[in-house]
Amino acid sequence: MIIPVHEGAASGRAPRWPAISVPAIARSHSLKYGVRRMRDEALTADAPVAPDELRPIAAIRSEFAGLRDGMVALDGAAGTLMPAPVVDAITEALRFSMANVGGAFEASARSGETQLAARRAIADLVGGHEAGVVFGPNMTTLTFRIADTLAGGWGPGDELVVTSLDHDANVRPWALAAERAGALARFAEFDVATGELRAEAFDGLIGESTRLVAVTAASNSIGSRPDVRAIADLAHEAGALVYVDGVHSTPHVATDMAALGADFYACSSYKFFGPHAGCVVADPGLLEELHPAKLAPSSEQVPGRFEWGTPSFEQLAGVAGAIDWIAGLTAAPGSRRERLLTAFEAVESRLGSLLGRMVDGLGALGDVAMLAAPRRRTSTVSFRVAGFSPAQVAQRLARRGICVWDGDNYAFELMRRFGLEDSGGAVRASLVLYNDESDVDALVEAVADIGSGAA
């Protein structure tokens, strides 16, 4: 079943994030899932695999302490857990003295090496250049920073295009910057029947007045993956820049920002098993042309001129640690970039199988309505259960140790398109590579019980 569209205007209210107190998991749940997993780990953790195959799921899961209490973590779209090697990388950075960069002493040099290692790791992850990697506290902050910088060159008569498929962090910073500059922000709307954002949606929106097109590589709400390259080609033909939000896409599929046609590619490491840090990657030559507001004595060099204040060096150590961990998910040889591409090909295959299981299971429940069904998507599903608000469903799932989100999940314009902005949004379940079949089965069983009144 597909949620129908409603053409009402957005309410403008702030997103609702209900406070849910999650009690301890019921003993029966821990016995049902936790004990079985411990048994499976003992049987399969050391099973041999081909070089291009992922390590056994039990071995991967064993590195996440957050899974050991039996919790079913289906909240990956909001942020992933960290595996032990990433925690160790952060701890190691904290254990030794570190200082701001630029000093003549060892601790300062160590910080500089940590920072450079993180830039190189991100460049390998997205296919960018290390000198074009800008770090910040999160993607939202960095997008506001880039938007404010670019808007300095905009004025009346200029236009930019955003989409209703995007997280608000790739909508509002651009719309607000355009408003301040006297420019016009225009919306490309996705198809609510399919959940897809086609290049045709930009017909008549991109022209000689367009300065920038902002588009997601994957919806954080329904997982839909637009043809970013086709959209970017339209933008570039008009002389516009392309800013791609890769926050949700990056943990699920291999990234090549050049192949996408992205002039800017934004992502967040806490979505791919790292700490809370964001980054934007661009060609260093493009960054050289931009001059953000900054302190007088701070660096004029790229990318440093975009990084305000002293960074968290221990988090940067965790960023590199997370990317190294992903690169080691298979036994494939080659450079880190090559090993990452192999790993993500295997990740996409595994998650595609789990997604099919989840969609089939929820789709078989007569009282569940899923939001669209895009053909090309990540392993993320948003749905509603008849007779229950999304918050009520999330609370009942939490009591069974199943972690999901409810609300608009900052996909504010998407919920407006579905007519759900005033009715609590939807329930979102998102699979990442540490999830397995039992997680999916636990969700489907619990949702079935909720719908029948048994939970």
Q: How far is CA 394 from CA 21, 389, 398, in A?
A: 11, 9, 6
Cis peptide before 311 (omega within 30 of 0): no
The rounded percent of the chain whose pLDDT value lies above 90 is 86
What pLDDT digit, counting tens, does each position of 33-85 carry? 443 444 444 444 455 678 889 999 999 999 999 998 899 999 999 999 999 99
The 10s digit of each residue's pLDDT in 102-150 is: 999 999 999 999 999 999 999 999 999 999 999 999 999 999 999 999 9
Closest to 227 measured CA to CA, from 258, 200, 194: 200
Dist. CA 236–CA 430, nearest whole Å: 33
Cα separation, 291 vs 306, whole angstroms? 8
Cβ neighbours of residue 373 under 8 Å, at least 6 residues apart? 2, 194, 195, 359
Please determine, for residue 19, whether its predicted confidence score (pLDDT) is greater than 60.
no
3 state DSSP class of 134: strand
Work out the angle at residue 113's Cα, subtended by the Cα atoms of residues 107 and 115, and round it to the nearest 5 degrees.
105
CA distances from 94 to 111, 116, 131, 238 (A): 11, 17, 25, 48
Interior angle at CA 192, CA 189 and CA 197, nearest 5: 45
d(Cα 178, Cα 295) in Å, to the nearest integer? 24
Report how many helices (DSSP H) and strands (DSSP E) the chain contains, helices first: 15, 13
What local confidence, expressed as pLDDT, does residue 15 receive? 32
Amino acid in the structure at residue 87: V
What is the pLDDT at residue 373?
A: 81
Which of the residue ranges 89-93, 98-102, 196-200 would you say has the lowest mean pLDDT?
98-102
pLDDT at 8 over 80: no
- Which of 254, 290, 16, 25 has its CA nearest to residue 134? 290
Q: What is the set of domains in the chain, with CATH numbers?
A: 27-75+336-452 (3.90.1150.10), 88-326 (3.40.640.10)
Q: What is the pLDDT of residues 388-412, one digit of tens each?
A: 999 999 999 999 999 999 999 999 9
pLDDT per residue as tens digits for the range 282-304: 999 999 999 999 999 999 999 99
Across the range 242-269, mean pLDDT stands at 98
- The pTM assigned to this predicted structure is 0.90
Model pLDDT, residue 414: 98
Helix (H) or strand (E) holding 395: helix 390-399
pLDDT on residue 125: 98
For residue range 309-354, list pLDDT tens digits in order: 999 999 999 999 999 999 999 999 999 999 999 999 999 999 999 9
Reduced to 3 states (helix: H, G, I; strand: E, B; else coil), residue 377 is strand
The predicted structure's pLDDT at residue 10: 33
With a cut of 50, say whether residue 7 has pLDDT above it.
no
